[in-house]
Structure 1
């Protein structure tokens, strides 16, 4: 599935370069109009990120996202600063289709299994964001500022017993760069952990990237900057995905 991404910082649509808050680019789009456009052309879900909360979970702007969720019920995958059951419940009760949990898995690992069991694996996505250091996929948390010094693959092995279905994996070095996805990373993850449904994020620059990710076996592709900067349009992305899906089923 193609999932357009909209990152919001201080109530404005932005993109960060490699997750750096000092390298922010603002876009003059109205968030409601943009979501409406994506849904009109057949998108089933939009990925919305609260960058204020991602950087500081105490800096929540719930009213902004409450309004978005109310207007687009069951169409939003919400991310950013979701660290507790209270956060999960708030967003799901107010219309989110899925909530994305990242940093919380490190200090509330024992609760993740209960959250999955209670809310259901369809409603929770685990985000694992990596930077490759000395050929190791190091997972970063807290708005991509803190290196856990834990290998991505080690975390996935532990998570595989918790009933999790969706894993959103971002190569931070590719995010917001339009340099292309880390195909090697996703190929290795899909081969090593076939029970997860992986969402790719970071670096998409052309419809050819979509083709290659689909061939690898990615379940969902999150696309942000390339749509905002009109490298291709949403209809081209959907058409490309559908074509590859048809070929794969033959």
Structure 2
């Protein structure tokens, strides 16, 4: 399982939200690129970046910070937040981003998602952000009636290979990952699931690894010191359970 330490960007700073609430924001670092370099020094191979202003407004105001992280580290970078055009996708990938995460527009316009996947393949991931099992869009501000499980099956049919599945109610709450949700999602074969939201202990990571998920995102617990990044990386690199013999649903 891949571990992706997270940096959420807002006004050029690394921040954390509580349950996606922009009014409940904590500044973690005034120098996100330096923070990313420290994560790389601790053994991280990937980093998960979210442009929170972009997610809310559909813009890319933190692109200079992301470019700085790419220049200063050898981290594989996945980026989400405000990526709603082919031009923005192209700009990020041309800059060296390994994978972009589509959110709101992927939900609203399947044709756009199909075009992106056709052109860029595995470099396109989709964020499935759920509150009480249903999708939320526009920076988690708008709820939909779409069930996350149904949506992920639709994504698989469109050729999407990676989904970042976030339980908004657990994000930043230090209440543990929603293992019931991720157990259900792990049963959807043919698509890689990365768990996001609520990971607060090594036990959470161990449980997610045992479910056979592709990856997990580590945020607030790392910043609070509840989870040591080096220990977490070592745990996720342990041999994963076999998933052979299980049929695609």
TM-score scaled by length of structure 1: 0.91
1:93–1:74 distance in 2 versus 1, CA, 3 Å? farther
**Pairing 1:17-96 to 2, within 5 Å after superposition:** 17-28=18-29, 30-58=31-59, 60-72=61-73, 75-96=76-97
Larger deviation, residues 55-64 vs 211-220? 55-64
- Give the drift of 1:57: 1.1
Q: Which structure 1 residue ranges, 4+ long, deviate > 4 Å from structure 2?
A: 246-249
| Structure 1 residue 35, shift from structure 2 partner | 1.4
Other-structure match for 2:202: 207
**How many residues matched?**
242
Q: Is the Cα contact below 8 Å between 1:74 and 1:96 reproduced in 2?
A: no
Which residues of 2 match residues 234-249 of structure 1 at below 5 A? 234-243=229-238, 245=239
Residue 190 of structure 1 is matched in structure 2 by: 186
Question: 1:84/1:73 Cα in 2 relative to 1: closer, same or farther (>3 Å)?
Answer: farther
Residue 62 of structure 1: how far off its partner (Å): 2.6
Assess, with a 3 A threshold, how the Cα gap between structure 1 residues 63 and 32 changes in structure 2: closer, same or farther: closer
Q: Structure 1, residues 62-106: CA drift from partner, whole Å, max 9, x if none?
A: 323233333346621111110111110000001101101010112
Helix, strand or coil: the match of 1:127? strand
Q: Which runs of 5+ in 1 are unaligned?
A: none
Task: Specify which of 195, 199, 216 is matched with residue 211 of structure 2.
Answer: 216
Matched residue, 1:167: 163
Match of 1:38, SS? helix
Aligned Cα RMSD in Å? 1.7
Compute the displacement of 1:41 (Å). 2.9
Contact kept? 1:98, 1:125, Cα under 8 Å: yes
Q: Using the alignment, how far apart are the partners of 2:56 and 2:183 within structure 1?
A: 30
**What displacement does 1:160 show?**
1.9
8 Å Cα contact 2:130/2:166 also seen in 1: yes
Pairwise CA distance, 1:58: 3.6
Residue in 1 aligned with 2:247?
none
User: Helix, strand or coil for the counterpart of 2:29?
Assistant: coil
1:248, 1:152 → 2: CA distance? 25
